[in-house]
Amino acid sequence: MSAFVDAQSGGFSINLVHRDSEGSPFYNPKETPARLVGYAGRRSIGRVHRFSSRSISNPSDPDAQLTANNGEYLVNISLGTPPFPIVAIADTGSDIIWTQCKPCTDCYKQDAPLFDPKSSSSYRTVSCSSNACNSLQSEGSSCSSDGSVCEYQVSYGDQSHTQGDVAAETLTLESKTGNPVALPKTVIGCGHDNAGTFSPKGSGIVGLGGGPASLVSQLGSSIGGKFSYCMVPYAAAKPTSTMNFGTNAVVSGNGVLSTPLISDPSQPTFYFLQLEAVSVGSKKIAFQGSSIGGSGNIIIDSGTTLTLVPTDFFSQLSDAVETQVTGGTKTSDPEGFFSLCYVPDSSLKLPPVTAHFKGADVVLTSDNIFIQVNDKVVCLAFYANDQLSIYGNVAQQNFLIGYDLPKQTLSFKPTDCTNT
Protein backbone atom coordinates (compact mmCIF):
# COMPACT_ATOMS: atom_id res chain seq x y z
CA MET A 1 0.00 0.00 0.00
CA SER A 2 1.42 3.39 -0.99
CA ALA A 3 1.38 6.45 1.24
CA PHE A 4 1.22 9.90 -0.31
CA VAL A 5 3.18 12.70 1.26
CA ASP A 6 1.87 16.00 2.54
CA ALA A 7 3.10 18.25 5.31
CA GLN A 8 0.08 17.50 7.50
CA SER A 9 0.70 13.74 7.42
CA GLY A 10 3.75 14.04 9.68
CA GLY A 11 6.44 13.66 7.04
CA PHE A 12 8.53 10.56 6.42
CA SER A 13 12.05 9.20 6.81
CA ILE A 14 14.26 7.00 4.64
CA ASN A 15 17.51 5.09 5.05
CA LEU A 16 20.77 6.21 3.50
CA VAL A 17 23.38 3.51 2.92
CA HIS A 18 27.07 4.40 2.66
CA ARG A 19 28.50 3.27 -0.65
CA ASP A 20 31.32 1.28 1.00
CA SER A 21 29.11 -0.63 3.46
CA GLU A 22 27.49 -4.04 3.09
CA GLY A 23 24.22 -3.81 1.19
CA SER A 24 25.68 -1.32 -1.28
CA PRO A 25 26.34 -2.44 -4.88
CA PHE A 26 29.69 -0.63 -4.58
CA TYR A 27 30.75 -2.77 -1.58
CA ASN A 28 33.97 -4.67 -2.14
CA PRO A 29 35.07 -6.84 0.82
CA LYS A 30 38.52 -7.25 -0.72
CA GLU A 31 39.39 -3.56 -0.36
CA THR A 32 41.38 -2.52 2.71
CA PRO A 33 39.93 0.21 4.97
CA ALA A 34 42.90 2.43 4.16
CA ARG A 35 42.30 2.15 0.44
CA LEU A 36 38.55 2.83 0.82
CA VAL A 37 39.24 6.00 2.82
CA GLY A 38 41.81 7.02 0.21
CA TYR A 39 39.23 6.54 -2.53
CA ALA A 40 36.73 8.63 -0.55
CA GLY A 41 39.31 11.39 -0.20
CA ARG A 42 39.99 11.38 -3.92
CA ARG A 43 36.27 11.46 -4.64
CA SER A 44 36.12 14.60 -2.48
CA ILE A 45 38.66 16.28 -4.74
CA GLY A 46 36.83 14.94 -7.78
CA ARG A 47 33.65 16.74 -6.64
CA VAL A 48 35.45 20.05 -7.09
CA HIS A 49 35.99 19.29 -10.80
CA ARG A 50 32.26 18.85 -11.05
CA PHE A 51 31.16 21.73 -8.82
CA SER A 52 33.52 24.47 -9.96
CA SER A 53 32.68 26.11 -13.26
CA ARG A 54 36.21 27.45 -13.24
CA SER A 55 37.91 24.07 -13.32
CA ILE A 56 38.84 22.19 -16.45
CA SER A 57 39.73 18.62 -15.64
CA ASN A 58 41.90 16.25 -17.58
CA PRO A 59 40.13 12.92 -18.22
CA SER A 60 43.41 11.13 -17.56
CA ASP A 61 43.63 12.72 -14.08
CA PRO A 62 42.88 9.96 -11.51
CA ASP A 63 40.91 12.48 -9.43
CA ALA A 64 38.76 13.49 -12.40
CA GLN A 65 38.01 9.84 -13.08
CA LEU A 66 35.82 9.82 -9.99
CA THR A 67 33.51 12.78 -10.54
CA ALA A 68 30.57 11.49 -12.57
CA ASN A 69 28.81 9.44 -9.89
CA ASN A 70 30.88 10.05 -6.78
CA GLY A 71 28.29 10.65 -4.07
CA GLU A 72 28.81 8.83 -0.80
CA TYR A 73 25.27 7.78 0.16
CA LEU A 74 22.73 5.59 -1.61
CA VAL A 75 18.95 5.42 -1.41
CA ASN A 76 16.55 2.69 -2.50
CA ILE A 77 13.90 4.02 -4.88
CA SER A 78 11.54 2.59 -7.46
CA LEU A 79 10.35 4.10 -10.72
CA GLY A 80 7.15 3.44 -12.59
CA THR A 81 4.03 1.30 -12.30
CA PRO A 82 4.63 -1.48 -11.37
CA PRO A 83 7.60 -0.23 -9.29
CA PHE A 84 11.03 -0.93 -10.79
CA PRO A 85 13.76 -0.97 -8.07
CA ILE A 86 16.83 1.24 -8.43
CA VAL A 87 19.70 1.90 -6.01
CA ALA A 88 20.49 5.56 -6.60
CA ILE A 89 23.07 8.01 -5.29
CA ALA A 90 21.47 10.63 -3.02
CA ASP A 91 23.28 13.84 -3.89
CA THR A 92 22.89 17.34 -2.39
CA GLY A 93 25.30 18.52 -5.09
CA SER A 94 22.92 17.61 -7.96
CA ASP A 95 19.43 18.64 -8.99
CA ILE A 96 18.09 16.32 -11.66
CA ILE A 97 16.80 12.82 -10.88
CA TRP A 98 17.96 10.49 -13.65
CA THR A 99 18.59 6.87 -14.54
CA GLN A 100 19.62 4.94 -17.64
CA CYS A 101 16.67 3.86 -19.75
CA LYS A 102 15.89 1.49 -22.58
CA PRO A 103 16.44 1.84 -25.47
CA CYS A 104 20.08 2.92 -25.10
CA THR A 105 21.67 4.53 -28.12
CA ASP A 106 24.98 4.84 -26.25
CA CYS A 107 25.03 3.77 -22.58
CA TYR A 108 27.74 2.85 -20.12
CA LYS A 109 27.78 -0.73 -18.86
CA GLN A 110 25.41 -1.13 -15.91
CA ASP A 111 25.27 -4.28 -13.79
CA ALA A 112 21.64 -3.81 -12.75
CA PRO A 113 18.81 -4.05 -15.31
CA LEU A 114 17.86 -0.85 -17.14
CA PHE A 115 14.51 0.89 -16.59
CA ASP A 116 12.16 0.35 -19.53
CA PRO A 117 9.60 3.16 -19.87
CA LYS A 118 7.39 0.96 -22.04
CA SER A 119 6.87 -1.36 -19.07
CA SER A 120 5.42 1.43 -16.92
CA SER A 121 1.79 2.54 -17.18
CA SER A 122 2.53 5.84 -15.40
CA TYR A 123 5.43 7.05 -17.60
CA ARG A 124 4.77 10.19 -19.66
CA THR A 125 7.22 12.25 -21.67
CA VAL A 126 7.11 16.01 -21.09
CA SER A 127 6.36 18.62 -23.77
CA CYS A 128 8.77 21.44 -24.60
CA SER A 129 6.24 24.09 -23.53
CA SER A 130 5.67 22.63 -20.06
CA ASN A 131 6.78 24.12 -16.75
CA ALA A 132 8.70 20.91 -16.10
CA CYS A 133 10.80 21.49 -19.20
CA ASN A 134 11.41 25.12 -18.24
CA SER A 135 12.56 24.03 -14.79
CA LEU A 136 15.37 22.05 -16.41
CA GLN A 137 16.92 24.95 -18.30
CA SER A 138 19.97 24.76 -16.02
CA GLU A 139 20.31 21.11 -17.07
CA GLY A 140 20.48 22.02 -20.76
CA SER A 141 16.86 21.27 -21.65
CA SER A 142 15.95 21.46 -25.32
CA CYS A 143 13.43 20.06 -27.79
CA SER A 144 13.64 16.84 -29.76
CA SER A 145 14.19 17.14 -33.50
CA ASP A 146 10.45 16.92 -34.14
CA GLY A 147 9.69 19.42 -31.37
CA SER A 148 7.44 17.07 -29.42
CA VAL A 149 9.53 15.97 -26.43
CA CYS A 150 11.58 17.90 -23.89
CA GLU A 151 15.14 16.62 -23.63
CA TYR A 152 17.90 17.21 -21.08
CA GLN A 153 21.69 17.06 -21.16
CA VAL A 154 24.09 17.14 -18.22
CA SER A 155 27.86 17.28 -18.67
CA TYR A 156 30.27 16.63 -15.82
CA GLY A 157 33.75 18.04 -15.23
CA ASP A 158 35.44 14.81 -16.35
CA GLN A 159 33.70 14.94 -19.77
CA SER A 160 31.12 12.32 -18.80
CA HIS A 161 27.57 13.14 -19.84
CA THR A 162 23.97 11.99 -19.68
CA GLN A 163 21.20 13.00 -22.05
CA GLY A 164 17.73 11.77 -22.83
CA ASP A 165 14.03 12.51 -22.42
CA VAL A 166 12.41 14.52 -19.65
CA ALA A 167 9.46 12.58 -18.25
CA ALA A 168 6.87 12.58 -15.48
CA GLU A 169 6.87 9.30 -13.58
CA THR A 170 5.89 7.82 -10.24
CA LEU A 171 8.90 7.70 -7.93
CA THR A 172 8.55 5.53 -4.82
CA LEU A 173 10.76 5.79 -1.74
CA GLU A 174 11.18 3.07 0.88
CA SER A 175 10.32 4.71 4.20
CA LYS A 176 11.74 3.58 7.54
CA THR A 177 8.23 2.56 8.65
CA GLY A 178 8.08 -0.04 5.91
CA ASN A 179 5.33 1.78 4.00
CA PRO A 180 6.39 2.97 0.54
CA VAL A 181 5.98 6.67 -0.20
CA ALA A 182 4.71 7.12 -3.77
CA LEU A 183 5.35 10.46 -5.48
CA PRO A 184 3.36 10.57 -8.73
CA LYS A 185 4.32 12.83 -11.65
CA THR A 186 7.89 13.34 -10.43
CA VAL A 187 10.01 14.95 -13.15
CA ILE A 188 12.95 12.71 -14.07
CA GLY A 189 15.55 12.34 -16.75
CA CYS A 190 15.35 9.11 -18.73
CA GLY A 191 18.89 8.75 -20.08
CA HIS A 192 19.35 7.14 -23.50
CA ASP A 193 22.89 8.46 -24.15
CA ASN A 194 25.17 8.22 -21.12
CA ALA A 195 28.92 7.85 -21.37
CA GLY A 196 32.15 8.55 -19.56
CA THR A 197 33.51 7.40 -16.23
CA PHE A 198 30.26 6.17 -14.65
CA SER A 199 30.64 3.03 -12.54
CA PRO A 200 28.71 -0.06 -13.70
CA LYS A 201 27.56 -0.40 -10.07
CA GLY A 202 25.55 2.83 -10.27
CA SER A 203 21.92 2.91 -11.41
CA GLY A 204 20.96 6.55 -11.07
CA ILE A 205 21.09 9.81 -9.14
CA VAL A 206 18.49 11.47 -6.92
CA GLY A 207 19.30 15.18 -6.89
CA LEU A 208 18.70 16.88 -3.53
CA GLY A 209 20.14 20.29 -4.40
CA GLY A 210 18.41 23.66 -4.35
CA GLY A 211 17.52 23.87 -8.05
CA PRO A 212 13.93 23.55 -9.32
CA ALA A 213 14.39 20.02 -10.72
CA SER A 214 15.61 18.42 -7.47
CA LEU A 215 13.50 16.04 -5.40
CA VAL A 216 13.44 18.55 -2.52
CA SER A 217 12.15 21.33 -4.78
CA GLN A 218 9.58 19.09 -6.46
CA LEU A 219 8.22 18.01 -3.08
CA GLY A 220 8.04 21.72 -2.21
CA SER A 221 5.13 22.70 0.01
CA SER A 222 4.19 19.06 0.71
CA ILE A 223 7.25 18.86 2.98
CA GLY A 224 7.15 22.52 4.02
CA GLY A 225 10.54 23.03 2.38
CA LYS A 226 12.23 21.01 5.14
CA PHE A 227 14.61 18.06 5.09
CA SER A 228 17.30 16.78 7.43
CA TYR A 229 19.77 13.95 7.76
CA CYS A 230 21.82 12.27 10.48
CA MET A 231 24.93 10.46 9.27
CA VAL A 232 26.57 7.76 11.35
CA PRO A 233 30.38 7.80 11.75
CA TYR A 234 32.41 5.77 9.27
CA ALA A 235 33.56 3.34 11.95
CA ALA A 236 30.05 2.76 13.38
CA ALA A 237 28.74 -0.80 13.46
CA LYS A 238 25.38 0.38 12.08
CA PRO A 239 25.88 1.13 8.36
CA THR A 240 22.66 3.08 7.69
CA SER A 241 22.03 6.78 8.19
CA THR A 242 18.68 8.58 8.17
CA MET A 243 17.15 11.27 5.96
CA ASN A 244 13.92 13.01 6.97
CA PHE A 245 11.35 15.08 5.08
CA GLY A 246 8.56 17.39 6.19
CA THR A 247 7.59 17.47 9.86
CA ASN A 248 9.98 14.58 10.52
CA ALA A 249 12.78 16.94 9.50
CA VAL A 250 12.18 19.61 12.15
CA VAL A 251 15.31 20.10 14.29
CA SER A 252 14.41 21.34 17.77
CA GLY A 253 15.22 21.00 21.47
CA ASN A 254 18.32 21.61 23.56
CA GLY A 255 21.62 22.14 21.82
CA VAL A 256 20.28 23.34 18.46
CA LEU A 257 22.42 25.92 16.67
CA SER A 258 21.29 27.68 13.49
CA THR A 259 23.08 29.63 10.79
CA PRO A 260 21.81 31.36 7.63
CA LEU A 261 21.42 29.13 4.58
CA ILE A 262 22.61 31.27 1.70
CA SER A 263 21.47 30.85 -1.89
CA ASP A 264 23.19 32.14 -5.00
CA PRO A 265 20.80 32.61 -7.98
CA SER A 266 23.66 31.93 -10.39
CA GLN A 267 24.33 28.56 -8.71
CA PRO A 268 20.96 27.44 -7.29
CA THR A 269 22.03 23.82 -6.77
CA PHE A 270 24.42 24.52 -3.91
CA TYR A 271 23.73 25.24 -0.24
CA PHE A 272 26.13 27.94 0.95
CA LEU A 273 27.06 28.85 4.53
CA GLN A 274 29.21 31.59 6.01
CA LEU A 275 32.10 30.12 7.99
CA GLU A 276 33.83 32.91 9.89
CA ALA A 277 36.65 31.02 11.61
CA VAL A 278 37.79 27.71 13.11
CA SER A 279 39.25 27.52 16.61
CA VAL A 280 41.82 24.92 17.60
CA GLY A 281 42.12 25.18 21.35
CA SER A 282 42.70 28.88 22.04
CA LYS A 283 43.93 29.64 18.51
CA LYS A 284 41.23 31.15 16.27
CA ILE A 285 41.94 31.01 12.53
CA ALA A 286 39.93 33.40 10.32
CA PHE A 287 38.34 31.79 7.26
CA GLN A 288 38.00 33.51 3.89
CA GLY A 289 36.92 30.55 1.78
CA SER A 290 35.69 30.69 -1.80
CA SER A 291 34.73 33.97 -3.44
CA ILE A 292 31.41 32.56 -4.63
CA GLY A 293 27.91 32.13 -3.27
CA GLY A 294 27.24 35.81 -2.55
CA SER A 295 27.93 36.23 1.18
CA GLY A 296 28.42 32.47 1.53
CA ASN A 297 31.99 31.18 1.46
CA ILE A 298 31.62 27.40 1.85
CA ILE A 299 29.24 24.76 0.44
CA ILE A 300 27.74 22.19 2.81
CA ASP A 301 27.52 18.87 0.98
CA SER A 302 26.51 15.36 2.08
CA GLY A 303 28.29 13.76 -0.87
CA THR A 304 31.80 15.05 -0.13
CA THR A 305 33.73 13.12 2.51
CA LEU A 306 36.44 15.60 3.51
CA THR A 307 36.21 19.28 4.37
CA LEU A 308 38.01 21.18 1.62
CA VAL A 309 39.61 24.52 2.50
CA PRO A 310 42.12 26.93 0.88
CA THR A 311 45.77 25.93 1.09
CA ASP A 312 46.81 28.80 3.36
CA PHE A 313 43.98 28.07 5.80
CA PHE A 314 44.72 24.34 5.72
CA SER A 315 48.37 24.99 6.60
CA GLN A 316 47.38 27.11 9.59
CA LEU A 317 44.77 24.58 10.73
CA SER A 318 47.08 21.59 10.34
CA ASP A 319 49.92 23.37 12.18
CA ALA A 320 47.58 24.37 15.01
CA VAL A 321 46.29 20.83 15.41
CA GLU A 322 49.77 19.31 15.29
CA THR A 323 51.10 21.84 17.82
CA GLN A 324 48.29 21.19 20.30
CA VAL A 325 48.03 17.39 20.03
CA THR A 326 49.49 15.71 23.10
CA GLY A 327 50.65 12.14 23.41
CA GLY A 328 50.23 9.67 20.62
CA THR A 329 52.64 8.94 17.82
CA LYS A 330 52.69 10.75 14.50
CA THR A 331 52.61 8.37 11.54
CA SER A 332 52.02 8.35 7.78
CA ASP A 333 48.94 7.50 5.73
CA PRO A 334 49.39 4.01 4.20
CA GLU A 335 47.92 5.31 0.93
CA GLY A 336 49.92 8.55 0.93
CA PHE A 337 46.86 10.79 0.59
CA PHE A 338 46.56 12.49 3.99
CA SER A 339 49.30 14.68 5.42
CA LEU A 340 48.66 14.62 9.20
CA CYS A 341 48.11 11.21 10.80
CA TYR A 342 48.50 9.61 14.22
CA VAL A 343 48.41 6.21 15.86
CA PRO A 344 45.10 6.24 17.78
CA ASP A 345 46.32 4.84 21.10
CA SER A 346 45.09 5.79 24.57
CA SER A 347 47.77 8.45 25.00
CA LEU A 348 46.55 10.53 22.03
CA LYS A 349 44.76 13.71 23.18
CA LEU A 350 43.25 15.98 20.52
CA PRO A 351 42.62 19.70 21.03
CA PRO A 352 39.03 21.02 21.04
CA VAL A 353 37.98 22.32 17.61
CA THR A 354 35.05 24.67 16.94
CA ALA A 355 33.65 25.73 13.56
CA HIS A 356 32.40 29.31 13.90
CA PHE A 357 29.55 29.73 11.42
CA LYS A 358 27.60 32.98 11.42
CA GLY A 359 25.48 32.77 14.59
CA ALA A 360 26.50 29.17 15.35
CA ASP A 361 29.63 27.93 17.13
CA VAL A 362 29.64 24.22 16.30
CA VAL A 363 31.88 22.16 18.60
CA LEU A 364 33.36 19.25 16.68
CA THR A 365 34.25 15.87 18.14
CA SER A 366 37.35 13.83 17.35
CA ASP A 367 35.24 11.81 14.86
CA ASN A 368 34.51 15.04 12.96
CA ILE A 369 38.14 16.14 12.88
CA PHE A 370 39.94 12.86 12.17
CA ILE A 371 38.95 9.97 9.94
CA GLN A 372 39.91 6.42 10.84
CA VAL A 373 42.02 5.02 8.02
CA ASN A 374 42.49 1.65 9.74
CA ASP A 375 42.89 0.26 13.27
CA LYS A 376 46.33 1.82 13.55
CA VAL A 377 45.96 5.18 11.76
CA VAL A 378 43.69 8.24 12.03
CA CYS A 379 44.18 11.26 9.78
CA LEU A 380 43.02 14.87 9.71
CA ALA A 381 39.78 14.93 7.66
CA PHE A 382 40.51 18.30 6.06
CA TYR A 383 42.23 18.79 2.70
CA ALA A 384 43.74 21.75 0.87
CA ASN A 385 41.93 22.94 -2.25
CA ASP A 386 41.95 26.46 -3.69
CA GLN A 387 39.10 26.08 -6.19
CA LEU A 388 36.17 25.56 -3.87
CA SER A 389 35.52 25.22 -0.13
CA ILE A 390 33.21 22.38 0.96
CA TYR A 391 32.06 21.36 4.45
CA GLY A 392 32.14 17.59 4.08
CA ASN A 393 30.21 14.75 5.67
CA VAL A 394 32.86 13.64 8.18
CA ALA A 395 32.45 17.03 9.88
CA GLN A 396 28.67 16.49 9.83
CA GLN A 397 28.60 12.98 11.33
CA ASN A 398 26.64 12.58 14.59
CA PHE A 399 24.86 15.88 13.99
CA LEU A 400 21.23 16.15 12.99
CA ILE A 401 21.55 18.61 10.08
CA GLY A 402 18.29 20.39 9.24
CA TYR A 403 17.54 22.47 6.14
CA ASP A 404 14.62 24.91 6.40
CA LEU A 405 14.39 26.44 2.95
CA PRO A 406 11.50 28.91 3.58
CA LYS A 407 13.31 30.32 6.62
CA GLN A 408 16.72 30.02 4.89
CA THR A 409 18.35 28.47 7.93
CA LEU A 410 20.49 25.41 8.53
CA SER A 411 20.50 23.84 11.99
CA PHE A 412 22.99 21.61 13.81
CA LYS A 413 22.07 19.41 16.75
CA PRO A 414 24.60 17.01 18.31
CA THR A 415 22.95 13.58 18.00
CA ASP A 416 23.88 9.91 18.29
CA CYS A 417 22.94 9.07 14.71
CA THR A 418 23.14 5.32 15.35
CA ASN A 419 19.88 5.71 17.34
CA THR A 420 17.88 7.57 14.69
The catalytic residues are 91, 301
Q: CA 390, CA 213: separation in Å to the nearest integer?
A: 22
Query: Residue 325 CA to chain centroid, in angstroms?
Result: 31
- The whole-angstrom distance between residue 47's C-alpha and the CA centroid of its chain comes to 10
Pairing of strands 298-300, 390-391: parallel
Segment (H or E) for 40: helix 33-51
Q: What is the dihedral of CA 239, 92, 317, 283, to 10 degrees?
A: -100
Q: What is the DSSP string of 61-95?
A: STTGGG-TT--SEEEEEEETTTTEEEEEEEETT--
Q: Reduce the DSSP state of residue 326 to 3 states and report it.
A: strand
Q: Helix count (H) and strand count (E) of the chain?
A: 6, 29
If you write DSSP's letter for every residue of 367-379 in order, what string do you get?
Answer: HHHEEEEETTEEE
Q: How far apart are CA 71 and CA 57, in angstroms?
A: 18
